[in-house]
A and B are shown apart, each in its own frame.
Chain A
Amino acid sequence: MKYNILEMPDIVYGNIDPYSKDAIHINEDLIVGSGIYLDFYSDSPSLSIKYELKYKPVKKFQCPVLTNGFSYCVRDQNGKIIKQANCYSWKGGAQEAIIDRRASSLLHYLFFLPSFNLISSFIVEIDDRFKLYSNRPHSNPIVTIGSSLVSGEGCSFPNSVFNNILVQKLDKNIVGLQISKIPKERMQQILGYLEPSFIIVDQTFVSSSELEKTTQLLKSLSNKYRTIAIRSGKRLFRRNRIGNEKTICCLPHLDEYSFIKKGLLNDRGHYILSEMITKELCSYAKK
């Protein structure tokens, strides 16, 4: 049985409108593919993926697996990781066997799609008589708004993007919105549609225009939604004090190993950022 994810909005997350007819391509406000993930259960003994995308030569701060591959993680019913890997094809597509077992058992699958690339097709193939089950409703996601970091800039593979780490750490639906790609009115429209349970505004390494835009956004959001803004230094923190101060927190000092260059976090930086957001959300939940 083959499932084209373009026709399976129930299992597609991280996009803005999962019930659009064109589930993958609806993410028009982001670079297509960035931040999209599949989250489902299946009891099929075998599962494989056949995908096609446009092979894109990588830019200087990118890795082919990030832009032309995908990451996945398979867990059993106790949450134990059975398989975790990254797939890549320089031909821009391939068929990958993910699970091939003799007996049927219910497994949880997470697939993180490539960043900064177009996906032509992504087909999940399972044994006949078995099904895919969606994991959770799409409503009330945690929304992260920020620079190109939310799309995975600086990472070497999709699994290391801070948003995708959060999906696994928090076990919540996460939607990432890149501020520079979305006009102000459209952003309000999107947030109104998504009804976020929490908004995290990442102001750590935004450009000056992005800082202005996110600061304005924060002002308008803080009364409507539970919001956390993350900033990178004391100076920035003092200069732009806004809204409820308790909702603003500073990223701890990052060592030189966390950057590819100034303002561009690598896998280590994304990991530290995800740890910090998790900590903040946990402490917020305790209050």
Chain B
Amino acid sequence: MLKSNGMVFFDIFELKDCIFGAPNIVNNSFKKIYDYSQLLSESNPSDLSYRYFSIANEQTSGIRLRFKTESKKIALSFEVVRKAAYERVMISASSGFDVYYVKKNRYYHLTVIAPDEQILCYDEVFELPDNDYVEIYFPLYNIVKRMSVGVIDGCLIQPMPYKNDKKIVFYGNSCTQGAGASRSGNAYPNIVSRLLSIDVVNYAFNSACHGETWIADELSTKGANAFVIDYQFNSSIEEFKKRFESFYLCIRDKNKRTPIILVDTLSQNQYNQHISTVYRKNKSKDPYLFYVELSKLLDNIDRGILSIDGIHISDIGGPLLAESIARIIKRYL
């Protein structure tokens, strides 16, 4: 605990009960998957895929801080690891903390606390309106090295758990991680979390999402109440055809009556065809299998405006995808 300018600062690693969406907090760092030594048996540490996985594994997409405080002012002070912007991701999304407050069960967006490119350490103080609790979404594409939350001296920070103990697990690539969103609260898994007031864990591995069976094994033991599988382009089409169905079946095997939602891509391609084939093949015997066809969902919107590169959907499409997923899951909660 540190005191400065009439405010008292709490290191977030002292606030573990306030942190959601972080499956493993190890030695003051976040790890989506704690032990990924199995990946080493398939590749060596110098492989690009291994390096991408190691980085994405520590990026904080999907992590939230939820707390109650009587403080009228909040300070965020943090240090991130990556100083260069990702070419297709806004800094406010890749490195920014997105702040909401909740009043009478309704979420209100307050502000985004983000550094400019090249800046690693940043802090900012903001006023907090009358609220029931605060929810802060972590950066989508950066690793948080240090972060502390400041409140007015004498005020407390208390955990704000979800009213239910349900959880949705997302598995996917850069789209799932939130590449097209303008801020972290707009990443579609985070929107689903707000729409359903539910905990989510975002296992998104940008550039390193290959549908490995050992990851399916790992996810299938998380006690999730729904799974969203948004996995496509990181694999070659050959690898994808080999792995996609077995990834789904592996999760299904240990979660017999849990909704599993398959998400496809924006354009018509072989990946979408294969997802559709797997869905049609299994749907008759699996009533808890669902399919969101992104290309159809966003059919009437100009592709050149919808996405920066034809793959990563922006905030125009993200909320629509989140609403479709939330509608399906809501029926089974």
Contact = CB atoms under 8 A, between A and B. Distances in A.
A276 interface: no
Contact of B88 (A63, A84, A267): A63
Given A257-B318, A268-B316, A60 B91 contact: yes
B280 interface: no
Contacts of B111: 261-262
A59 B89 CA distance: 12
A73 B305 CA distance: 11
Contact of B182 (A64, A71, A154, A262): A154
Interface stretch (B49-57, B254-262, B270-278, B306-314): B306-314
B88 A65 contact: yes
Contacts of B88: 63-65, 88, 156
Given A57-B118, A259-B109, A71 B315 contact: no
Nearest to B313: A267
Contacts of A261: 109, 111-112, 183
Q: What DSSP secondary structure best describes chain A's contact surface?
A: mixed
Contact of A61 (B91, B109, B118, B319): B91
A90 interface: yes
Interface stretch (A24-32, A157-165, A234-242): A157-165
B308 A266 contact: no
B217 to A, nearest CB: 35
A65 B92 CA distance: 14
Interface in A241-264: 255-262
A260 B182 contact: yes
A40 interface: no
Interface residues of A, number: 37
Contacts of A281: none
Given A60-B115, A154-B182, A260 B92 contact: yes
A282 interface: no
A61 B109 CA distance: 16
Interface string A155-176: 0110110000100100000000
Contact of B304 (A65, A84, A156): A84
B117 interface: yes
A86 B206 CA distance: 20
Given A156-B314, A261-B112, A267-B315, A256 B87 contact: no
A268 B315 contact: yes
Interface string A113-155: 0000000000000000000000000000000000000000010
Interface in A50-83: 57-65, 69, 71, 73, 81
B212 interface: no
A85 interface: yes
A83 to B, nearest CB: 10
Contacts of B115: 60
A73 B186 CA distance: 27
A205 interface: no
A73 B182 contact: no
A267 B316 contact: yes
A271 interface: yes
B114 interface: yes
Contacts of B308: 63, 65, 86, 156-157, 160
A60 B305 CA distance: 21
Contacts of A69: 87
A265 to B, nearest CB: 9
Contacts of B319: 255, 257, 268
A159 B303 CA distance: 11
Nearest to A73: B304
23 contacts: A57-B85, A57-B116, A58-B85, A58-B117, A60-B96, A60-B112, A61-B182, A62-B90, A64-B88, A69-B87, A84-B310, A88-B87, A156-B88, A156-B90, A156-B314, A157-B308, A257-B186, A257-B319, A260-B90, A260-B112, A261-B112, A261-B183, A267-B315
Given A156-B182, A257-B315, 16 more contacts: A58-B85, A59-B91, A61-B90, A61-B91, A63-B85, A63-B89, A64-B85, A65-B87, A85-B310, A88-B88, A156-B314, A157-B308, A257-B191, A261-B112, A266-B183, A267-B305
